Amino acid sequence: AMFPAAICCALTAYTQNQWALLFYMTVMKFVLSSAFNSIYTLSSEAFPTVIRNTATGVCSLVARIGGMTAPVTLFIGEVIGVNPMIFFAISCSIGAVISLVLPETKDVDIPDTILEETSQETEFRTYK
């Protein structure tokens, strides 16, 4: 979901047409909202049961910090003379690449302990 957001961010940086700008911004908002909501699902499946609440909280915290630093990006863009949407496009691209290495959790037993998570993947993450 982050690749379309990165593309829309990059296109928004160089668009002069107001209707195209509105379209790109709307698509970008939709995609980023769905990606933000997927944090809770993914973080609850990616971590063992004993640390799941803490890990979900940390993931939410990092997402909120990103939201707080977004307005500062506008000022940084003005200082160095780069369109701020390029920063957002780069961060979306980095998030998209990182999300490609996350493990698949569909039809997989979720580990209950940290020991199960650190053990061999094929032993504890068996398909149902």
> If DSSP states are collapsed to H, E and C, what string results for the chain?
CHHHHHHHHHHHHCCCCHHHHHHHHHHHHHHHHHHHHHHHHHHHHHCCHHHHHHHHHHHHHHHHHHHHHHHHHHHHHHHHCCCHHHHHHHHHHHHHHHHCCCCCCCCECCCCCHHHHHCCHHHHCCEC
Query: What is the pLDDT at residue 37?
Result: 79
Band of pLDDT at residue 124, cut at 50, 70 and 90: very low
Comparing 114 with 57, the larger pLDDT belongs to: 57
Name the residue among 23, 19, 18 with its Cα closest to residue 7: 23
Among 23, 25, 57, which residue's Cα sits nearest to residue 40?
Answer: 57
Give the pLDDT band of residue 121 (cuts 50, 70, 90).
low
pLDDT digits (tens, 9 = 90+) for 89-105: 888 888 888 888 877 77
CB neighbours of residue 1 within 10 Å: 17
Q: What was the pLDDT predicted at 98?
A: 83
Query: For residue 18, what pLDDT is reported?
Result: 92
pTM: 0.70
User: Residues 86, 11, 75, 2: is their CA dihedral positive or negative?
Assistant: negative
